[in-house]
Each structure stands twice: as C-alpha cells, then as structure tokens.
Structure 1
Amino acid sequence: MLVLAATPIGNPADASQRLRDLLADADVVAAEDTRRLRRLASDLGVQIAGRVVSYFEGNESRRTPELVGELEAGRTVVLVTDAGMPSVSDPGYRLVAAAVDAGIDVTSAPGPSAALAALAVSGLPVDRFTFEGFLPRKAGERDRALAALVDEPRTMVFFEAPHRTADTLDAMRAAFGEQRPAAVCRELTKTYEEVRRGPLAELAVWARPEGDDARVRGEVTVVVGGAPPRTFDEDTLRAMVAEGERAGLSRKDAIADVATRTGVRRRVVFDLVHR
C-alpha cells in the first residue's frame, strides 16, 4: 500500500499518532528532504526502521518506477514532503498515478494543511474556494494567470515564496483592484505566526515599505476574496443574447449561454428578450 502522510507545517506537536506509527513501521519512507525527515522523526521521538529514500522534483521520474516495484513486492511505502500533504503543490502526483495504474491501493493519513489553515483564519468566505497553488514565476505568465481569475467568484488560495510576495501582491492589486479583500498568512503554527488582513492596496504597501524589500519572511499563503457579483442592466442582457444569435446560436441557446455567463436566472433573461 502507498500512504500519503501529511506532516506538520511548522509545529511538530501537530503530528498525529498515525504519522508516528507509519514512520516507525513502514518498509520504505520516501521523503522530499531526508534531512528534514530525520529532524522531524527526532522531534517526534520516532525511530524509522525502514529504508529511507529521497523523492523530490528532480528525481521523481527516476524514483517512481523503483517505488512502484517496492509496492508490487508487497511493501508499504509512506510518502512525506517537507510540510503538509504530499502531491498538493509538492511531489507525489506521479507516484500516485503510477500506483493507481498498477492496481495498488493508495490511501492517506491526513493532517496539517497550510491552504486550509490560511483559509480558516483569513476571515474571508470559506463556503466555496479554489486552490491555485504557486503562480508562475515569470511576470508575464503570472499576470496572465491572474487576469484569468479576475471574475472568479470563489475565495482563492495561493502559495508564494517570501521573496516574491511583494511583487505578487502588487500584481494582484493591479489585476483584482486595490480594494479586493485579502489576507497574507505567514509562518502558520510557528512561533512568529502572522496574519495580515486588509485590501490588496494596503497589503502591498505592508509587504514592501519604502526602503525595505525584506518585510515578508517564512512560509507564505495568500488568500484573496472572490470577485463581487456583477450587475447587468436589461439592455446589456438583451444585447448579449442578440450577439449570441448573430454568432449562430439559437435564441434558446443564446439565452442559456447568457444566463450561465452572468449568473442571471434563465427565466429572467428569457422574459427580458421576449418582453
């Protein structure tokens, strides 16, 4: 069996008893950073009896067949990353996919999650959200990714490196507007945990005050409120339906398309068009 085991995102006391048992009993422990794994095991008072191997972005392709071979031989393989759940913006997806293809059981030992912890403390709506992970590093690609999210109505959760956080907040301010509510969560569960809440304009200034480009340190998760509902007047809705018809849609399909795009009930659009 392959077990994806969540590790603490900062505070070792958040480790579950199940994680301790898995590390102690597994035949193979695959770790993103074996040194960090050893430190965690020491903090938890756990003796790892099985074989420890590295499994990180640089060797995933090569190591995956080897680990699948261990699983096919009947051994238990536990996969851990530096923090949180494997395969969520961390190594693991390739191994899970290969194990599933080989007919091997895959399960998880859930635990700490930076994305969920940040979402919970952000003060922003949590009923519906989208996890966007890390934005592209190149400015142009990052800006295009943000532009595609301008109308996203759900709360958005991003991971970011501390040295890029100020630039990312500036880009978010430009894309989403200065008053879009957000929260920057850093060092969650650690000694110097900090959550800054406010409009993007305020957070961008906080992240890079004049004369200081190193305000943000540690692990960072950014939570951004979704786009507010857009309002459409009657003439605009009628024009959108007419545009759809000119593009070749039937009136029924054009009405359905406008209702989907705007969030206005289909019956309302229908009545406007036929009034």
Structure 2
Amino acid sequence: MDVGNFGFVVAGLIVGFVVGMTGVGGGSLMTPILLWFGINPATAVGTDLLYAAITKSGGVLVHRKNKNIDWGVTGWLTLGSVPAVAVTLWFLKNFDTNPKALNAIITQALGVVLLLTAGAVLFKHKLLAFAHRNSGDKSLFTGTRLNVLTVVTGLILGTMVALTSIGAGALGTVALFILYPLLPTRRLVGTEIAHAVPLTLVAGLGHASMGNMNWELLGFLLMGSLPGIYLGSHLTGRVPDKVLRPCLAFMLFAIGYKLAF
C-alpha cells in the first residue's frame, strides 16, 4: 500500500471515528477531505455516496432490530427523494459536457449545503425545542398536509444529496424533528438512516453509471472507516456534546465558506 492509499485509509478511520462518536459528519466531512486529496469533485461525490450507503446499512439493521424505524415516514420521504435523484442526475449528465462546468456546479452546491449543515449541527437542540414548544401536545401538521410536506422534504434532500452527497444526515434529521416533533428521537434517527440508505445507494449507482466512481478508493475508505466507527461508538458521551457540536459546526462552516465563496 503506497502513501497516498494509506492516507485514504486514515481519512476513513477519522471520519468513521467522528460518525461513531457523534452520529453526524459522514458525508459532510468525507467529500471535502477527498477534494483536499485532489479527487475530482464529481468522483468524490459519487464515491462518498456509495460509502455512505454501505456504512449506514449496518445502522439500519440495528435500528430495525430495536424497532426504531417508522417505515411509513421512510416511504413518504423516498417517494420524493428517489425521483429527485433521478432528475438531478439527468440534469448533471445533460447540462454540459464540459467536466469543468459540472465540477463547478458540484463545488458551489457543496459549499452551500455545508453551510446549511453547519447551522443544523450547531442549532439542532434549539430547533428541536422550538418544534416542541410550538406543537404542544399535537403535531403542527397532520394528515394529507403532513404527507405532502414529507414528500417535498424528500425531494429537497434527494436533490441536495445527488449534487453533493450531503444533506441526508443532519439536515434530514432536523427536518423530521420539525415535521414529527412527537415522534421519539430514537425513531426519528432510525427513520432518517433507513431513508438515507436507498437514497445514497440510488444516487451513488447513478453517479457510478456516469463514471463518477473510484472503486479502489471506496475500498480504502471502508478499510479505515469500519474500525473507526467501532472505536468512536465506544467513546460516545465521553466528550461533552456542547464541546463536540460547536467544533464540528465550525469546521463545516469554514469548509463550506471556502468552497462557496
């Protein structure tokens, strides 16, 4: 294994460790790291999408076993996100044959989504408190209106994820907190992960069909991230959330600002 490939293993280890310890930061850290290594933006996004689909699959099995997934909500989200992925990938494929134009779109979108993710990570608890405070003992939205808003949320998440590989985690969880404030947090998290797997898998395979995939790179990332997730999960709660969350948010904001502006 040469030095460059060893660096990818270390990157996977670090990102996996952060994900295992905090539950967030997978795509929002991995894609910028791949860009820093000099990986083409489109290839970085495509590779990270399949990386996310594989690493989150284990989370679905755990949450399913513990009955932490609301499959109805997952279905409504997927109804919006998967078609959005297909349309976004079609747009990317036909918009411009110039690779530089495609990379410019992806990089700009990545910066904007990272800034939004930084805000979601930093103000997650305040947003959750706001949702509970305004819902009282009932949800703000119910029935058909709630289902439509869930589909629209999936549509927005699908577009962001297909463009940047980011959005299904922190932003998706915050959106579900607002739409379903009475659903227990563990079920919201499990539902978000259950939705993220088909979303990232479809988007990743779509990018792979466009040639935006490095299978060898994916293997090295997984080689590091799987033990990293295991180690990080055993340190959950050791570092105070009030310290971890601002640090992660600041890092995402700094990367997003640089990419967007």
More RCO (CA 8 Å, sep 6+): 2
- Pairwise same-fold verdict (TM > 0.5): no
Q: Comparing both structures, which one devotes a greater share of its residues to helix? A: 2
Q: Report the structure, 1 or 2, having the larger strand content.
A: 1
Greater Cα radius of gyration, structure 1 or 2: 1
Which TM-score bucket, shorter chain as reference? under 0.3
TM-score by length of 2: 0.24
